[in-house]
Amino acid sequence: MYHVQYHQFLHEMPDGTLKMTNPLTGRTAWWVPGRSGRPIENRQTEYARGEIREPEDYCAFCPVNLRQTPPEIDRRIYDGNQCRTVSRPMPSDMGQQPFLFRRVANLYEIVTLEYWRRNYDYRGLARRREWAAAYKNDPAGREHLLELIRTKRKNLRAVGEDMPEISAEAMLTEADSFFLGCHQLISAYRHYRVGADKSDTIQLCGSGCMTPDEHFEYFQFTADSIRDIYECNRYVRYVVAFQNWLAPAGASFDHLHKQLVGLDDWGTSISREVLASRSDPNFYNAQVVNFSSYNNLVMAENQHASLFADFGHRNPTAAVYSKSHHLRPFEHSPEELRGVSDLVHACHAAQGPKMSCNEEWYYQPRDCLEKIPFHVLIKWRVSNPAGFEGGTRIFINPMRPTDIRDQIVPELFRLRAEGRIAHTIQIAEECPVQPNSLRYNR
Ligand SMILES: [Zn+2]
């Protein structure tokens, strides 16, 4: 499967049907004439300006509701000159200090602290346990934790979970997951976009609504957090990083956030990529990035990364590949990570905040020897699988990769001219598209 000839990844039939195979996963998707059309925007994300309240208080991630999320593992702040990270603040420290991003435990973990405790006898690092003890000893901290656990148990009871009454001490033990757990969230500072345009409406603040500088801070903070999860739990083999934007993409809040989940597994997608990488040490150049440029799918490029329209996915997908020989996001130099961030930001800005999407990060797991370049997929959630897909595992994708390119590229030119994306980005025919530009295998 991994040695198919180039033309077989994208095969156009005489009637115009395009059969697409993803070189990394072997998954198949078809574009069928007459079933296309521009994807509809998923839901209302614009609101009358008058409805906007400052400070924002729309959801648990908004600044007014700091106590509705678990204690902050760290917070990224801007102090007027530069950004810095404040780690493990106590309740009295949280106050009014404005933040750009916050990292907290997920109240509803997928892989729980209990999982790590029971299967690995994981106890967490001393500095985290000390923080937990100090927080519980602080009267405001103790009340915060009890309030969270009560709310969590009430919500679980409401969906039918068996949640017997337990003592306050047992609740505080349950709160250990906030300090030691490996499923975390990074939330951004804004719920709605700061009113930059002159219209009477305002939009939810998506990734593309930030400035390139802010988006880079978001990226760097996420990369640092991945490293921290590895450092805190030696049993973690891979930290999955993703962002679900809006309800069709699985987000339970409209407030921008990323999720990080430490796993003792690589998951199916990375395992398939490992096989592909093993089959050819130049796989990601030859079969992925070179191939995209030979088919004129490259949308933008800079010194450190490339953005192109990808194919063979269930949904229209854009891909950003790092050119760095550093394989993991937290091993990238700031300049390299900035290059990747700028293209991911530009893609979000060009598709607009109304487009529900999943942003997924892929990179070399901790215990993996095969080389995998850091890459980010942005998948637009516009198609609903039907019976045909279920029976065949062939997905009908409403857009060809050229349709994605033709939608994004004019927007990139416009946004760059307006100074809303990084000016260092080269677009479409400006891109050098050097063959073998990924240096991951050197
Ligand atoms: Zn919010």
Tell me, in angstroms, the distance from the centre of ligand 1 to residue 417's CA.
31
Quote the CATH superfamily of domain 6-38+274-430: HIT-like (3.30.428.10)
- Contact (Cβ atoms closer than 8 angstroms) between residue 312 and residue 395: no
Tell me, in angstroms, the distance from the centre of ligand 1 to residue 253's CA.
7
Tell me, in angstroms, the distance from the centre of ligand 1 to residue 377's CA.
25
Task: Kindly tell me if the per-residue pLDDT of 39 is higher than 70.
Answer: no
Tell me, in angstroms, the distance from the centre of ligand 1 to residue 188's CA.
9
pLDDT, tens only, 304-314: 999 999 999 99
Kindly state the average pLDDT of the residues 243-253: 92
User: According to the model, what pLDDT value does residue 96 have?
Assistant: 61
Query: For residues 75 and 218, what is the distance between their CA atoms, to the nearest angstrom?
Result: 11
Instruction: Give the CA distances from residue 111 to residues 124, 159, 194, in Å, rounded to whole numbers and listed in that order.
Output: 15, 19, 35
User: According to the model, what pLDDT value does residue 6 have?
Assistant: 61
Query: For residues 356 and 170, what is the distance between their CA atoms, to the nearest angstrom?
Result: 39
Higher pLDDT, 439 or 3: 439
Tell me, in angstroms, the distance from the centre of ligand 1 to residue 160's CA.
27
Most confident of 23-32, 161-170, 233-242: 233-242
Tell me, in angstroms, the distance from the centre of ligand 1 to residue 6's CA.
45
Tell me, in angstroms, the distance from the centre of ligand 1 to residue 317's CA.
27
Tell me, in angstroms, the distance from the centre of ligand 1 to residue 205's CA.
10
Query: For residues 116 and 128, what is the distance between their CA atoms, to the nearest angstrom?
Result: 15
User: According to the model, what pLDDT value does residue 345 have?
Assistant: 98
Tell me, in angstroms, the distance from the centre of ligand 1 to residue 344's CA.
22
| Paired residues of 26 in beta bridges | none
Tell me, in angstroms, the distance from the centre of ligand 1 to residue 103's CA.
14
User: According to the model, what pLDDT value does residue 2 have?
Assistant: 46
Task: Kindly tell me if the per-residue pLDDT of 388 is higher than 80.
Answer: no
Tell me, in angstroms, the distance from the centre of ligand 1 to residue 259's CA.
16
Q: How confident is the model at residue 1 (pLDDT cuts 50, 70, 90)?
A: very low
Tell me, in angstroms, the distance from the centre of ligand 1 to residue 192's CA.
8
pLDDT, tens only, 192-238: 987 645 566 678 999 999 999 999 999 999 999 999 999 999 999 99
334-351 and 212-232 helices cross at what angle (nearest 10)?
Answer: 120
Higher pLDDT, 255 or 42: 255
pLDDT, tens only, 88-132: 989 888 776 789 999 999 999 999 999 999 999 999 999 999 999
Tell me, in angstroms, the distance from the centre of ligand 1 to residue 1's CA.
45
Kindly state the average pLDDT of the residues 254-280: 95
The answer to which of 1-5, 44-48, 140-144, 407-411 has the lowest mean pLDDT is: 1-5
Tell me, in angstroms, the distance from the centre of ligand 1 to residue 149's CA.
21
Kindly state the average pLDDT of the residues 244-263: 94
- Contact (Cβ atoms closer than 8 angstroms) between residue 318 and residue 308: yes
Tell me, in angstroms, the distance from the centre of ligand 1 to residue 62's CA.
4
Tell me, in angstroms, the distance from the centre of ligand 1 to residue 59's CA.
4
Query: For residues 319 and 301, what is the distance between their CA atoms, to the nearest angstrom?
Result: 11
**Closest to 363 (Cα-Cα) out of 182, 238, 232:** 238
Tell me, in angstroms, the distance from the centre of ligand 1 to residue 260's CA.
19
At position 359, the amino acid (one-letter code) is E
SS (H, E, C) the chain: CCCCCHHHHEEECCCCCEEEECCCCCCEEEECCCCCCCCCCCCCCEEEHHHCCCCCCCCCCCHHHHHHCCCEEEEEEECCCCEEEEECCCHHHHCCCCCCEEEEECCCCCCCHHHHHHHHCCCCCHHHHHHHHHHHHCHHHHHHHHHHHHHHHHHHHHCCCCCCCCCHHHHHHHCHHHHHCCEEEEEECCCECCCCCCCCEEEECCHHHCCHHHHHHHHHHHHHHHHHHHHHCCCCCEEEEEEEECHHHCCCCCCCEEEEEEECCCHHHHHHHHHHHHHCCCHHHHHHHHHHHHCCCEEEEECCEEEEECCCCCCCEEEEEECCCCCCHHHCCHHHHHHHHHHHHHHHHHHCCCCCEEEEEECCCCCCCCCCCCEEEEEECCCCCCHHHHHHCEEECCCCHHHHHHHHHHHHHHHHHCCCCCCCCEEHHHCCCCCCCCCCCC
pLDDT, tens only, 314-369: 999 999 999 999 999 999 999 999 999 999 999 999 999 999 999 999 999 999 99
Tell me, in angstroms, the distance from the centre of ligand 1 to residue 385's CA.
30
Query: For residues 126 and 119, what is the distance between their CA atoms, to the nearest angstrom?
Result: 20
Kindly state the average pLDDT of the residues 266-288: 94
Tell me, in angstroms, the distance from the centre of ligand 1 to residue 68's CA.
11
Tell me, in angstroms, the distance from the centre of ligand 1 to residue 347's CA.
23
| Paired residues of 379 in beta bridges | 317, 358
Residue percentage of the chain with pLDDT more than 70? 92
- Contact (Cβ atoms closer than 8 angstroms) between residue 45 and residue 354: yes
Tell me, in angstroms, the distance from the centre of ligand 1 to residue 56's CA.
7
Q: How confident is the model at residue 7 (pLDDT cuts 50, 70, 90)?
A: low
Tell me, in angstroms, the distance from the centre of ligand 1 to residue 339's CA.
28
Domain ranges of the chain: 6-38+274-430, 46-203
Instruction: Give the CA distances from residue 284 to residues 1, 22, 378, 442, in Å, rounded to whole numbers and listed in that order.
Output: 15, 12, 18, 13
pTM for the complete prediction?
Answer: 0.94
